[in-house]
Structure 1
Amino acid sequence: MLTSFPGFTLKPLVATVRRHRMVPLYVMAMGVGSAYAADSTEETNTAQAAVIAPAPVTTQLQKVEVTGSAIRRVDAETAVPITILRTADLEKQGVTTTAELMQRVTGNNSVGNSAGSVGMATGGASFADMRGIGANKTLVLLNGRRLANNAMSGTTSQGGAVDLNMIPFAAIDRVEVLRDGASALYGTDAIGGVINFITKKSLTDGTLTLGGDTPTHSGGGASKDMSGSWGFGDLDKDRFNVMGVFNYRTQQNLDANDRSFDKDYVPGRGLDGTSGTSFPSNYTQGDNAANPLGPACTGANQIASNGVCRYSTRNSIDLLPQTESTSFFGKATGKLGDDHNVSLDYFWARNNNSVSVAPAPLTGLTLDPSSPYYPGNGITPGPTNFALDPTQPVGVNWRETAAGDRESKDQNTSQRFQLTFDGTVSGWDYNVGAGYNQNQVYNRVTSGYVSDSALISGLQSGLINPFGAQSDAGQAFIDANTYHGTYAVSTGRVASIDGKVTREIGDWFGAGPVGLALGGEYRKEKFHMSIDDWAGDLSSLGVDPNSSVAGDRSITAQYAEINVPVFDSLELSAAVRHDKYSDFGSTTNPKYSFRYQPIKELVMRGAYSEGFRAPSLYELNNPTYTTFTQGNYDDPRLCTGGTVRPGGNGGRDCGQQFLNSTGGNKNLSPETARNVTLGFVYQPVRNLSMGLDFWWIKIAGQIEEFPESEVFNNPETYSDRIVRAADGSIDHIVTGLANLGNLKTSGVDVSLNYRFPQTSVGQFGLDLQGTYVTRYDYQQTIGGNYIDRVGDFQGYGVAARWKHNLTASWNFGPARAALTNRFTTGYNDYDRTTNDRVPSYSLWDLSAGYTFMKTLDVDLGVKNVFDRDPPFSNQAYTFQSGYDPRYTDPLGRTLFARATYHF
């Protein structure tokens, strides 16, 4: 009997347990229990379910290899917590991207989708961030082997992380998430966990899938997808198999005007995302400020505040960018002998990401009295609130609306070749491989980016009008000096050779065979970024053409693992890995674990491991550059508390985006970590499994970008990070990467799986996966005070206290349905003085499907059935405002339909 639940699979598995006693083991391929029989040539999953009842059989199982262990074994139960997600089941619920898939893992802290590319040159990347300790501390694998990291990242915590969008979704069979540190086996950077995307092993038939998603609100955001797969050759009979999978997906952009919850000015709740760089421009002379429209600020997109006119960028912002994703995965496998196989696989993926933001700001300008547009010269009205000295210039901060919105397009391309040999020699199972990975990001500007030097020249000559409509000659001048084309190319490459052998080495204590694994790896990493000279003429890009950089390193590693059954009920494991970095020396990291089954219904497990993460090539070599702060701030000296002080100027010092110097740091030191897990799995009856897995993580010397908000919130403590000009105003602040101190986080993962007794109207099931965070304390300086982020927006984000996914399912022959609740608790907002709490966020999804004649699968449903808007937040860390796109979805209620034809 086989019963499928959306998101997991329940099936019987015959497993060998202590003293070779053969019993049936019922497991669930998601959450608490997760195991199934698998062929010996494939990376397969782990198990966590308890044995139900003895029943002698004679079936001889093949060995399986599990994520979290290098030892191939016939007993599928292990000591580490694994979550398994099957893409075939999730597709029936409308999940069609890896970013959506990772939202179903409650240990993943943020959504991390392409919305983060709005205003940030990430190539439209999506990242996983297990435990919220940084995407660069979650190791992402494809079939158990590394991928190249994204060559560009929007935030430094993503530098050195894999872009999930580059993984060919249609080729994935399942995803195994090891919710535990695994530095001893997979690499020193696997601190937050390991996500192993496992492709289909072979295909002997074909499929064609067409689907689409449509929000019920008017506007954009709709998506379409198409995938196809085909393969031929039976590996056992024909001694070969060739397969290929193709996937194409496109999504329309979603404009801020299409959603009412996106706001940039709610002063009563602490939200002011407007800009002091306006159009018509504000102008200053001495301590005075004015605008040609007067204090009423009646122009388009203008808001009156602090005696000046501020500019609302909302009408120009994308909540979601326009994306186009194409991927291909191909694999050829052949038998070299009865016990030897060779395979060659290749994948290619490309993501085109188009983004729109507000017209560029140009600050620090002056306009001489000789200009025809000088206030009071006849075209531009003079000030009414102060007497202008007509012999002196005025200061101008100008929004370049005449050039239009800034539009850019990033192209992100990844590819990998992997050659693998596996088999058995003299009782040793071996697997060796050689691979080449590459990720390349092209950053292009397509519209709205005008030469700074040309505009400054145009202002000085009197050709450009910063206070009103341009003349024909002025507009022609702006159009003629607009840049188009690629301004930066970033490339990351990884070449690797690896191998491992494993075998049983005897029964030491009469409780079962001891497993031993030995392995090694060599890889060469390279990073290169080149920036065209003309990019330096666009201050709003925040790049320095003189900072083209390159870096490389080589890493060698050796590891060993042993698994020892001590008693029928107790199993001990130990692993150790030694890594040598060409730029950071050597490190040795152990892992110890146990599995104890005092009674057949209960399994206890635990592990201790150590980690070491060297700074990535991106973090070391990302050039220093100057850009604008993400949020608006008051100069703590000249505009204290939003009130202009002597020497200050409201149009310059209050509620402004100041310049920020940031980037990589060649003086970074490695991060070190310790992980502890302790878990319990209880299966009192055959169809019910419950689990608790407690986890503790401590990281020393955490690498982070210093939060810009802290510079302004604590100006005395961080006075060295505020650089002032000769007139006393802020020239720029300094953030950048540094080893900021320690981080301590802990919590518990909760799992419950229940399959109700069979009824005359079908099979019902219930699955709960949840994560409760008990602690998230971090330091912003070495030896500094700890700051608690659990349920409280601190620094640049928040750690949710509780997240869960709850799925109720129904299966009746060819029919199926599922109802899913995705829930996240609320938290204290960014600015609690004006908006105390961000409410909890709960979404309900409903899906139904039917299989016709075993050849056509049709699934349809509704995501966000009750059309829940993202809750209000006054956070100032993203270009989108009024909510936090890192933790919520702006699409609203979305209908989906998908059909798959098998041939």
Structure 2
Amino acid sequence: MVLSAAPPPAATASAATGVESPSVIPQLQRIEVTGSAIRRVDAETAVPVTILRTEELKKQGVTSTEQLISRISANQSSVGSGRSIGSSSGGAAFADLRGIGPNKTLVLLNGRRLANNATNAINGSGVDLNTIPFAAIDRVEVLRDGASALYGTDAIGGVINFITKKSVTDGQLTLGGSTPTRAGGGETNNFSGSWGFGDLDEDRFNVFGVVSHDKQQSLKAKDRDYTYNYQPGRGLDYSSGIASPANYSQGANASNPLAASGCNAPGLISRSGICRQSLWSYLDLVPETEKTSFFGKASGKLADDHTVSLEYFWARNLNRTQIGPGLLQGLQVQPGTPYYPGNGITPGPSQFALDPTQPVDVNWRESEVGPRKHEDDNVGQRLLLTFEGTLAGWDYNVGAAYNQNKVTNAIQSGYVDDRAVANGINTGVINPFGPQSADGRALLDASGVDGDYGTAVGRVKSIDGRISRDIGDWFGAGPSALALGGEYRKEDFHQDFADFAANVQSLGVDPAATVAGDRTVSAQYAEVNVPVLDSLELSAALRHDKYSDFGNTTNPKYSFRFQPFRELVVRGAYSEGFRAPSLYELYNPNFTTFTVANYNDPRLCAGGRPSNGGLANRDCAQQFFSRNGGNQSLSPETARNVTLGFVYQPVTNLSVGLDFWWIKIANQIAEFPESAVFEQPDLYSDRIVRKADGSIDHIVTGLANLGKVKTNGVDVSLDYRFAESRFGQFGANLQGTYVDRYVYQQQLKGDYIDKAGDFRGGDFSSAGAVARWRHSLTGTWNQGPLGASLTNRYTSGYNDYNRAYHDKVGAWSVWDVAGTYTWRDTAQITVGVQNLFDREPPFSNQTSTFQSGYDPRYSDPFGRTLYSRVSYNF
């Protein structure tokens, strides 16, 4: 089975279920499972752990950690590389267990921390999944229980532990690719190779390396017509009032040179006497990405019970995106200049008369410069030295690590020096209303800017160690066990910007705001496991952390495991969590950018119509300036987690599990939702900053402690393997998550807002709905060298963003099919189809991402996709 929270008997992953295999397995080894520092013979745990085998997922066309995470039902939405379109995420992808934010899911590689993504994607507080070397991963263990005393109490949503191959003694080459059956792009090609030598048991050493290269072509919005961003009858209007030719205004009047013709030009829409522009034809739905990675490990036995290992990984993700042409606001065309409306070149307004002695105000879309193109170069690496073994009856594991993430943001084309262009319009050289003269064209070309404009680096240097052993049979029910451990780490980051970025308005970058921060964290923890009865085990853990900038915190965890009879295990846990603000959340300087969506000024364009002196091209359906950034006054987040569940195995081939969970978070850290500012302007009037003329200058959406989050639900697992017959071996596996409640506050002591099954606005990572139900259902068949699988991926629907026009977003349900042929132990061929029935994403009128017409957090625009994979062992 691919997802095995409750695997079949005799499977090595059965320990994660808490169900003892009825098979007798001699000479069981003591192993460690994610969630506990104590090595156990049976490894049955009191907390829920899901295990994903990457080899099985690869047969289903999964080729990246980003795709892998989407198969976990407890992971609420995909904060993937597609979100880099129109943002500065560096092409990063993040996990989000329980939907409480990627900054509350702890991502590990071989049980140890990685450096967080260095950009402001989620305020520098999450690990970029695209920098984990997928080709080297053997399995992924998902702890669906939060606030780990072992790994850190900031793991409020849970822990995802990527575990690499332990050793490799041969070679393998793999080639693969995929192609959507619809035209337009999105094709992928991938290659990986591994080779190793030496046997740890016989030769006392092993050395191996894994390399991979993956490339995906971009997919354009214009190649999926259902993503058109102007569908007013369904409540979707992603057009912009900043257009080309430019809208202009004087006093309370506004117009456009093409207004009299009904804005009869490609991409333009007539409304309220001005022209709005749809940028749909320029946009990427999926970026072009190119990933390269290397993982190497050398291990040696110093003695029979002592092993030293040195591992290093390097991963690079090049991410290229395209959005609409740039925009300039606050420009003026002066009287007497060639392009002043009514002077002969630019038509004057027909609805009103201009005062020819006064300038006209202009907001201009720079379509003649072309679309804005970015490249983000995201590099992650880690060097880790470990010693492990057994000494004087104690199992020990000690390590020292250096982690780094570096992101370089670059402009490829489509940007200009705003000051030079503004001066060109002011002096009459550049025409914002029509074709350019030779001088205007030359000035635009000379004003172009490109190159690296931002570099961010985050590092974590750490040492850690833990020891564990049995400490006696206290109650006659089996040996108790004790684990002790500690950790010391130093975190730092810095971000620098090029000087030219100050002259590019739409970048939202302030070069004077170069920023850096650092902190040290030390921790000590203890864990004890005590069998009280033959059927009952109790565990307790305590972790103490000391932050150089937030003082001390001590947090407990308690759990139990009760097995009244062999077929049933009941388990539960209580824990407390603590997450200090990330360095980015504290020290990121304030900066100004544009709101993601279009809004109406609630005072000057109430209901979408200009009033009280408002202007259609300034106050209605506009992207306003938004001021946000870090906050050094932030308080830590605290949490309480409870889990209670069971695993029942009535017969050898069937296992059923239910795990209920409850999470309560206080002092949640998030950007204030931009949508709330405009939806409740009286309540949040202090967040709207106005100019002297009464129009909006900017809104304030910076980071703050916004109150509490309460959520609860249940994880469901079912695994059945049919008796083997002459027709082969059949199996079925279901992993699902149901969210019963998800409420949050937008301000301290404020009203609770329901997000379960309801779309709500928010920042980069928090906007969207929490789906009530998600599952992955897989059926398998194997006979000799042949194998096949059929998988259903399902996410329930929810109430849409603008319900006055479109009530419900439909469920996203797709079927995948794959077949595999294995020739001896030498070669394997896999062919398959993802989204077998070519399902289009359900319509959504959300406007919190640059992709429109659907919600990229829950569905994708590829359609039916064919894939193949060939592996050769040598």
> Do structure 1's residue 887 and structure 2's residue 853 form an aligned pair?
no
Residue number in structure 1 paired with 2:60: 93
Residue number in structure 1 paired with 2:348: 382
Report the 3-state secondary structure (helix = DSSP H, G, I; strand = E; otherwise coil) of the residue aligned with 1:64: coil
Unaligned runs of 5+ in 2: 762-766
CA shift, 1:60, in A, is: 2.3
Q: Indicate if the aligned counterparts of 2:6 and 2:719 stay in contact, CA closer than 8 A.
A: no
Residue number in structure 1 paired with 2:180: 215
Report the 3-state secondary structure (helix = DSSP H, G, I; strand = E; otherwise coil) of the residue aligned with 1:803: strand
Q: Indicate if the aligned counterparts of 1:27 and 1:47 stay in contact, CA closer than 8 A.
A: no
Residue number in structure 2 paired with 1:198: 163
- What is the rounded CA distance, in whole Å, between the counterparts of 1:179 and 1:327 in structure 2? 28
Residue number in structure 2 paired with 1:17: none
Root-mean-square deviation (CA), in Å? 1.2
One-letter amino acid of the counterpart of residue 688, structure 1: L
CA shift, 1:11, in A, is: 7.8
Residue number in structure 2 paired with 1:408: 374
Rate the CA distance shift 1:472–1:283 in 2: closer, same or farther, 3 A: same
- What is the rounded CA distance, in whole Å, between the counterparts of 1:27 and 1:569 in structure 2? 21
Q: Deviations over 1:652-695 (max 9, x none)?
A: 11000000001111111000000000011111000000000000
- What is the rounded CA distance, in whole Å, between the counterparts of 2:647 and 2:172 in structure 1? 38
Rate the CA distance shift 1:527–1:485 in 2: closer, same or farther, 3 A: same
Q: Deviations over 1:366-397 (max 9, x none)?
A: 11012100001111001111111111111100
Task: Map residues 210-609 of structure 1 onto 2, 5 A cutoff.
Answer: 210-295=175-260, 296-609=262-575
One-letter amino acid of the counterpart of residue 795, structure 2: T
1:792 to 748, 752, 758: 758
CA shift, 1:7, in A, is: 4.6
Report the 3-state secondary structure (helix = DSSP H, G, I; strand = E; otherwise coil) of the residue aligned with 2:302: strand
- What is the rounded CA distance, in whole Å, between the counterparts of 1:491 and 1:476 in structure 2? 37
Rate the CA distance shift 1:504–1:807 in 2: closer, same or farther, 3 A: same
- What is the rounded CA distance, in whole Å, between the counterparts of 2:321 and 2:760 in structure 1? 28
Rate the CA distance shift 1:443–1:703 in 2: closer, same or farther, 3 A: same
Q: Deviations over 1:414-440 (max 9, x none)?
A: 110000001111101111010000000
- What is the rounded CA distance, in whole Å, between the counterparts of 2:547 and 2:157 in structure 1? 21
- What is the rounded CA distance, in whole Å, between the counterparts of 1:886 and 1:814 in structure 2? 37
One-letter amino acid of the counterpart of residue 16, structure 2: A
- What is the rounded CA distance, in whole Å, between the counterparts of 1:83 and 1:461 in structure 2? 66
Rate the CA distance shift 1:27–1:181 in 2: closer, same or farther, 3 A: farther
- What is the rounded CA distance, in whole Å, between the counterparts of 2:258 and 2:601 in structure 1? 25
Point out the more displaced range, 399-408 or 167-176. 399-408
Residue number in structure 2 paired with 1:731: 697
CA shift, 1:50, in A, is: 2.5
Task: Map residues 615-694 of structure 1 onto 2, 5 A cutoff.
Answer: 615-694=581-660
When the two structures are aligned, how many residues end up with a matched partner?
Answer: 868
> Do structure 1's residue 47 and structure 2's residue 16 form an aligned pair?
yes
Q: Indicate if the aligned counterparts of 2:456 and 2:495 stay in contact, CA closer than 8 A.
A: yes
Task: Map residues 44-193 of structure 1 onto 2, 5 A cutoff.
Answer: 46-51=15-20, 53=22, 59-156=26-123, 159-193=124-158
Report the 3-state secondary structure (helix = DSSP H, G, I; strand = E; otherwise coil) of the residue aligned with 2:96: coil
Q: Indicate if the aligned counterparts of 2:20 and 2:44 stay in contact, CA closer than 8 A.
A: no
One-letter amino acid of the counterpart of residue 700, structure 1: A
Q: Indicate if the aligned counterparts of 2:603 and 2:612 stay in contact, CA closer than 8 A.
A: no
CA shift, 1:824, in A, is: 0.7
Q: Indicate if the aligned counterparts of 2:334 and 2:427 stay in contact, CA closer than 8 A.
A: no
One-letter amino acid of the counterpart of residue 111, structure 1: S
- What is the rounded CA distance, in whole Å, between the counterparts of 2:833 and 2:272 in structure 1? 46
CA shift, 1:47, in A, is: 2.0
- What is the rounded CA distance, in whole Å, between the counterparts of 2:606 and 2:823 in structure 1? 69
CA shift, 1:198, in A, is: 0.1
CA shift, 1:228, in A, is: 0.2
- What is the rounded CA distance, in whole Å, between the counterparts of 1:28 and 1:370 in structure 2? 83
Residue number in structure 2 paired with 1:871: 842
Report the 3-state secondary structure (helix = DSSP H, G, I; strand = E; otherwise coil) of the residue aligned with 2:69: helix
Q: Indicate if the aligned counterparts of 1:8 and 1:89 stay in contact, CA closer than 8 A.
A: no
- What is the rounded CA distance, in whole Å, between the counterparts of 2:484 and 2:17 in structure 1? 24
Q: Deviations over 1:35-92 (max 9, x none)?
A: 3xxxxxxxxxx4214235485x7x2222101100000110221100011000001001
Residue number in structure 2 paired with 1:39: none
Q: Indicate if the aligned counterparts of 1:866 and 1:893 stay in contact, CA closer than 8 A.
A: yes
- What is the rounded CA distance, in whole Å, between the counterparts of 1:813 and 1:254 in structure 2? 39
1:761 to 707, 713, 727: 727
Residue number in structure 2 paired with 1:852: 823
Report the 3-state secondary structure (helix = DSSP H, G, I; strand = E; otherwise coil) of the residue aligned with 1:257: helix
One-letter amino acid of the counterpart of residue 822, structure 1: R
CA shift, 1:643, in A, is: 1.4
Report the 3-state secondary structure (helix = DSSP H, G, I; strand = E; otherwise coil) of the residue aligned with 2:448: coil
One-letter amino acid of the counterpart of residue 860, structure 2: D
Point out the more displaced range, 303-312 or 225-234. 303-312
Q: Deviations over 1:185-236 (max 9, x none)?
A: 2112110000000000000000000000100001110000000000000111
Q: Indicate if the aligned counterparts of 1:691 and 1:751 stay in contact, CA closer than 8 A.
A: yes
State the TM-score, normalized to the length of structure 2: 0.98
Moved over 4 A (4+): 6-12, 52-55
Give the share of equivalent positions with the same residue, in percent. 64
State the TM-score, normalized to the length of structure 1: 0.95
Rate the CA distance shift 1:794–1:147 in 2: closer, same or farther, 3 A: same
- What is the rounded CA distance, in whole Å, between the counterparts of 1:902 and 1:802 in structure 2? 40
Q: Indicate if the aligned counterparts of 1:233 and 1:240 stay in contact, CA closer than 8 A.
A: yes
CA shift, 1:8, in A, is: 4.9
One-letter amino acid of the counterpart of residue 802, structure 1: W
Rate the CA distance shift 1:884–1:384 in 2: closer, same or farther, 3 A: same
- What is the rounded CA distance, in whole Å, between the counterparts of 1:820 and 1:366 in structure 2? 59
